[in-house]
A and B are shown apart, each in its own frame.
Chain A
Amino acid sequence: MKQLFRQLTAMVISCCFITAAQATTPEEDLKAFQNFYKKRFPNVETTDYINGAYSIDPVGRENWEAIEEFPPYEPFIDEGQAIWEKPFANGKTFKDCFPDGPALGGKYPRWEKEKSMVMTLPLALNNCLEANGEKPMKYKKGPINDILSYIAFESRGQITNVEIPTDDPGALAAYESGKKFYYTRRGQLNFACAHCHLQNAGMILRTEILSPALGHTTHFPVYRSKWGTVGTLHRRFTGCNKQVRAKPFKAHGEEYRNLEYFLTYMSNGLPLNGPGARK
């Protein structure tokens, strides 16, 4: 009996060592992630990844640069500014919730210790609306894209700097959950996010070049020609999941919030350049 107990104890300890040996820190993940692209596309400057597939597709880039001369997202920025400044029914405005002004992009997503959850910008905006007795905005389409376009425009040039506080294990757990989501196969096509945007970045899928994941979060919201309007990051997550034939999750639900937390962390050090324009 004692021998069995000893053997079991040894097994448990060795299992822990295996787990510990496999566990990596966010900093190590970030380094491995960004180094992957450096090796894969040695001629691309790291900061150029903020331009998505156009950082690795010279022909597409020419077209995109022509589009950027008359940006299709401009009317959304103007509309967003109007929403930002328009008083709520109680006379307050978004500025009362966000006293530092609309250049908020670099502050989100972030870990909120009090709520023990990842707070995203759209969720914070809706919290502000609800706290002031207003109806929250829908998360994928409609006015949320206007105000996000305005905020993204005002935040241009800020550096992505997602922090994972070490004083709250919940933050690391949320990051790990987002990471797990990113590398998990799902849907009928059995694809993980990483299969398209990490392993096969730069490859052609039908007529499209698969964009690198590095820089994915810097340019949202995005005017997509396919949508004919501006759309949010979580709308894009939904689209990606549908494309691999998986049932998408709720926008700004826990799964996608944690995914955004991980994915944005992977772009730490890159400047924000939203709103963007894409095919």
Chain B
Amino acid sequence: MHKKSVLFSSLLVWILGSGLATTSMADEASAEKVKQLIEAADEARKQAASVNGEWRDTGKMIKKAKELLKKGDFVAAAKLANKAAKQGHLGYEQAMSQKDLKMPSYLHYE
């Protein structure tokens, strides 16, 4: 009886321990991944800013993503970081597309 209970307790401890370790490792992996996403978003923002193409909310999104990361809400943080990165890329592309002055056709020069 005693042997059985020791075996059962050991098994329980092992299951719980390994479960917690797995969760912790998964958290670390997610945190690292989200951190990378945020860094990539910030790079994209900086690239857009370098050509005066940064959008209004990109920086705010990155800031919010960092806060969510701290709170451990990895899914929301990753989603926001991806959105910010997309804005950064689009802002850069937009500025590049506007590199040359294009006068509107409705202005008539005589």
Contacts and interface: CB of A to CB of B under 8 A. Distances in A.
Interface in B4-34: none
B57 interface: yes
A245 interface: yes
A17 interface: no
Interface stretch (B36-44, B46-54, B63-71): B46-54
A194 B104 contact: yes
A242 B106 contact: no
- What's the interface size class on A, roughly? 20 to 34
Interface stretch (A78-86, A95-103, A124-132, A181-189): A181-189
Interface residues of B, number: 24
A183 B55 contact: no
B56 A188 contact: yes
Interface string A166-201: 000000000010011001111110100010001100
Contacts of B106: 36, 198-199
Given A185-B94, A185-B98, A199-B104, A246 B56 contact: yes
A199 B101 CA distance: 16
B109 A28 contact: yes
A175 B59 CA distance: 30
A263 B101 CA distance: 16
B2 interface: no
B82 interface: no
5 nearest A-B pairs in the assembled complex, by CB-CB distance: A247-B54, A245-B56, A184-B98, A32-B107, A180-B101
